[in-house]
């Protein structure tokens, strides 16, 4: 099934060849550019409730990250610095050398890296449900993210998950949600995205290629701060990345506003879309 048939909307589906990879993205609106980066176990589709409202003021671009959804799934390039280059080059191919960067979960961690590696690119930063990776190194292991260790086992996840990707993803989507917000159509779209050829390998590479990455990032970014105006939004009932993991975040983001979103779990942009839109619109500039 093509992404257009499964996810029609006011946006347009496009593809671009950047940084050696073919990325799928949707685009809508005009004005100051905004790029929205999804997390796991999701795709660009997680922004479907947010894009139309933000497109009234911004040119919104929501890609599938390398290895996910309808983007290419090569066997290389899953380090966050490479993923950051993917996004900067994608926006550059559209004529944008600066953008509002919005990210959640994996996309939130990637947003931090973009702000550190390409500070001139980031107009403002909006991060949802994502602790700063340097601070997270010192946190105790959360049993909710048991699957990250499972993914690191050679060959076993491939054998157990092949043919069951949709049900595996569905478990986390429902378990990490505080409210009953997913429709059958939503779950079917995520199942489609994670069940197509190459998706299992792409998903696993994102986790396997990060082994040792926190330590490398500590050496690379130690003493660095993100000084761009930043909005941090967090679901009150986030299970995999609880709100308390934001403690000390101000040491790394020197110009941040933190907002706790009530009655929402990990997928705050889907569970509390209206509140997220309200907070983003109040925080972001009306024009460049």
Question: What residues act catalytically?
Answer: 105, 207, 266
Q: Is residue 288 part of a domain?
A: no
Please check whether residue 12 lies inside any domain of the structure.
yes
Query: How does residue 57 score in pLDDT terms, banded at 50, 70 and 90?
Result: very high
Evaluate whether residue 157 is within a structural domain.
Answer: yes
- Span 257-262, average pLDDT: 98
Whether 83 is covered by a domain: the verdict is: yes
pLDDT at 46: 98
- Has residue 88 been placed in a domain? yes
Question: Would 184 be classed as within a structural domain?
Answer: yes
Range of the domain at 66: 3-283
| 235 in a structural domain | yes
The tally of domains found in the chain comes to 1
Q: What is the CATH number of the domain that holds 174?
A: 3.40.50.1820
pLDDT of residue 216: 72
Average pLDDT, the chain: 93
| Whole-number pLDDT of residue 170 | 98
The model's confidence at residue 256, banded by pLDDT at 50, 70 and 90, is: very high
Domain assignment present for residue 265? The answer is yes
Overall average pLDDT of the 244-270 stretch: 95
Q: How confident is the model at residue 169 (pLDDT cuts 50, 70, 90)?
A: very high
CB 177 within 8 A of CB 266: yes
Report pLDDT for 220.
Answer: 81
């Amino acid at each position: 099934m093509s992404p257009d048939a499964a996810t029609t909307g006011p946006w347009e589906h496009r593809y671009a060849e950047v940084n050696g990879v073919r990325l799928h993205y949707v685009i809508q609106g005009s004005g100051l550019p905004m790029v929205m980066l999804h997390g796991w176990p999701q795709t660009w589709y997680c922004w479907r409730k947010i894009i139309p409202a933000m497109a009234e003021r911004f040119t919104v671009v929501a890609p599938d990250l390398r290895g996910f959804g309808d983007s290419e799934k090569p066997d290389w390039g899953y380090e966050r610095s490479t993923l950051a280059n993917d996004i900067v080059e994608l926006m550059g191919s559209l004529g944008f050398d600066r953008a509002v960067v919005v990210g959640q979960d994996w996309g939130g961690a990637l947003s931090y890296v973009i702000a550190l590696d390409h500070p001139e690119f980031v107009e403002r930063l909006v991060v949802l449900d994502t602790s700063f990776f340097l601070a997270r190194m010192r946190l105790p292991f959360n049993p909710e993210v048991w699957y990250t260790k499972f993914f690191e086992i050679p060959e076993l996840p491939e054998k157990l998950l092949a043919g069951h990707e949709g049900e595996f993803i569905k478990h986390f989507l429902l378990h990490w949600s505080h409210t009953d917000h997913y429709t059958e159509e939503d779950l079917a779209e995520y199942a489609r995205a994670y069940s197509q050829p190459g998706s299992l390998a792409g998903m696993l590479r994102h986790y396997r290629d990060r082994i040792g990455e926190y330590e490398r990032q500590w050496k690379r970014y130690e003493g660095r701060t993100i000084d761009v105006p930043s909005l941090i939004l967090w679901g009150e009932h986030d299970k995999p990345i609880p709100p308390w993991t934001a403690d000390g975040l101000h040491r790394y983001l020197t110009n941040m506003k933190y907002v706790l979103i009530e009655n929402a779990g990990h997928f705050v942009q889907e569970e509390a879309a209206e509140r997220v839109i309200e907070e983003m619109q109040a925080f972001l500039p009306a024009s460049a």
